[in-house]
Structures are given as structure tokens and as C-alpha cells.
Structure 1
Amino acid sequence: MNSRVEVLARVRGAAVGSISGAVSIAAHGIAGAGVPPSEAAVVLLLAVCAAVGAAVAALRVRDRDAVVLLAALTAGQLVGHTTLGLVGDHAHSLGLSAPMIAAHLAAIVVSAGVVHGAERACLRALAAVTRTVLVILTPPPVDAGTWSPIPVYRAKLSLWLLISAAAGTRGPPTLA
């Protein structure tokens, strides 16, 4: 498993767990006429949602598998609903009415969009950090100069002078 898949799995697990808990508290607060759940119910809900998030983070799935994401969000909301329904002191039972099912389905779709956005944001942030670290840690280029063992310019006049000097009338000076 590469690091990108591991990071996406952790982001997905944290998002699914926290969104499941937040939606459960908000939905049961609305259904209970604004009465907040008890502290024991909230603590149990946090433990259950953390377990759901850890289970989702442990799954080996591709980074864009929508079916698994929707199933995880559905399971998280079902577990959260059941936990607060069993422990909480709300007026409704564990049964699901049509408006409640519609609200949960809408929350699942919206939550899937939020999780997908969080995954994309995480990937972009990691890419930016990686590029920044690579720029910072890249050593500066060494200036080796422009010396070359092969001459760039060869004078043709000097060769002509050397060749013509051998055939000339060079000798001792004359006394004339």
C-alpha cells in the first residue's frame, strides 16, 4: 500500500466517523424538539463513531470508490441512530419513519460530497507540501565554469606562417 492510499484511507475514516456522529446528534436534537442527548449517550456515540471511523480507515479500497463510501456513511448513520435511540431519552422509538429515512438519505448524499471534497483537499495539500519540501531541500546548482579541453577557436594564420617559414631563405646575415 502506498502512502497516498494510506492517507486517503485515514482521511476517509476520520471524516466518516465524525460526520456520522455529527449527523446523529443533529438529527436526534431536531427529533427530540431541541433536547440535547445526555452525556452518557454522547460518550457512547463518540466511541461508536470512532470505531466506525477506524473500521473505514482500515479498509483497502481505491481512493474513489463511491459504493464503499456510501455504504460506510449509511452504516455510520445507522449505528449512530441506534446508539442514541437506545441510550437517549427521546420521544421516538428505533423505528424509522418516511421523513426520517428521507432525511438520512439526504444526509448520506451530502456527507459523501463532503468526504469526497475532504479527500481532494487532502491530496492537493499533500502535493503542495511535497513540492515545497522538494524546492527547499534541493541543493543549489554548482557553478563549474565554462572551461573546455577542446579549443573553440584555432587561428589559421599561425599555421600558414609555420609552414611557410620552413621553406624560406633564412640564413646568417650577409655582409654586403
Structure 2
Amino acid sequence: MSTAEALVARLRGGLTGAVSGAVSIAAHALGGGGTPSQSAVALLIATTLAVGVVAAGTRLPVAAILVAGQVLGHLVLSLDAGHFHVPGPAMIAGHAVAIAVAALLVVAAERGCRFVLAALRRVAPTPFAPLRVPGAVLVAPRPPVLRGLRRSAGIVPRGPPVTV
């Protein structure tokens, strides 16, 4: 995955997780739920983090991930308040509209990020171009100098000359 695609994937994951949590809290408040406890908020943050990680790591449709995030967020907040109930048609319609709008916004943000990154890639120079490294120079090994053999190599005259 290129750097640009990794950035777009992180953007998708962050936005999907944040929108999932925000819509869960808003729907809970509009549905008459009280203020969530600290433990419910911590569990909701963990849930939205998991939703964001899944959105960043896969190419599943954003709408499908948002639906799963809404279901998980609704379960977390309903279990905390102790009033687990089956959502009514108005709540389901509200969640469906919120998911559709959020999915469109996340996809538009992905496209916008790709557009900006492509424009920057065309305009800005490469910050650190790799240096060309010359190939390795092969050096033939030198045979070891045998000093003892060099002294005794050849015929060496020993003694006085023969004709005197």
C-alpha cells in the first residue's frame, strides 16, 4: 500500500469511527436516553475504535461498517442505561438517514483527500530522492607474500669466485 493510500485508509477509519460514535450518542440522546456513564463512554470509545480499525483495514463498503457501528453503539448505550429495547420505526429511519449521510460524507472526504494528494504529488518535488549508489567494485584477491620463499628463491653464489 502506498503512502497516499495508507493516509486515505487512516482517514476513512478515523471518520467512520468518529461518525459512528457521534451518531450513537446523538441518537441515544434524541431517543430519550440519559447521559451515559463513564464506563459506557469508555466502552463506546473502544467500540468506535474497533469500527475505525475495521474501516481502515478493509475495503468493505463504508455504509455496511457504519451500520455495524450503529448497532454496536446502540447496544452499548442501551445496556448501560438498563433500558434495552427494540428500536421503533422512527429510530430506525433516523439511523438509516444518518448512516446514508455519513457514508456520503466519508466517501467524499476520501475522494477529496485523493485529489489533494495527487495535486501535491504533481506540484511538490520529491523531498528525498534516493541517491544512486554505484555498484560494488570487485577486487581480485592478492596472493599472500611468502617472505621465507623469496630469500631462498633461485641460485645464490656462496663463497669466493672460482677464478682467482
SS, match of residue 84 in structure 2:
coil
What do you get for the CA RMSD once the two structures are aligned? Answer: 2.3
Which structure 1 residue ranges, 4+ long, deviate > 4 Å from structure 2? 135-138
Match of 1:69 in 2: 62
Which of 72, 75, 84 is the aligned partner of 1:82?
Answer: 75
In structure 1, runs of 5+ residues without a counterpart are: 62-66, 139-176
Match of 1:123 in 2: 114
CA contact (8 A) 1:23 1:107 kept: yes
Offset at 1:94? 3.3
Task: State the AA in 1 paired with 2:111.
Answer: R
Match of 1:57 in 2: 56
Match of 2:40 in 1: 41
TM-score normalised by L of structure 1: 0.65
Deviations 1:115-165 (A, max 9, x none): 012112211232233234228889xxxxxxxxxxxxxxxxxxxxxxxxxxx
Deviations 1:34-80 (A, max 9, x none): x3222221111011100110112111x2xxxxx72111111111111
Which of 102, 106, 111 is the aligned partner of 1:111?
Answer: 102
CA contact (8 A) 1:82 1:94 kept: no
Structure 1 distance, partners of 2:73, 2:126, is 45
1:96 and 1:9, CA in 2 relative to 1: closer, same or farther beyond 3 A? Answer: same
TM-score normalised by L of structure 2: 0.69
Task: State the AA in 1 paired with 2:105.
Answer: V
Offset at 1:6? 2.3
SS, match of residue 124 in structure 2:
helix
Structure 2 distance, partners of 1:99, 1:120, is 32
Match of 1:157 in 2: none
Structure 2 distance, partners of 1:84, 1:136, is 47
Task: State the AA in 1 paired with 2:2.
Answer: N
Structure 2 distance, partners of 1:48, 1:94, is 20
Structure 2 distance, partners of 1:117, 1:36, is 32
Structure 2 distance, partners of 1:5, 1:136, is 18
Task: State the AA in 1 paired with 2:21.
Answer: G
In structure 2, runs of 5+ residues without a counterpart are: 130-164
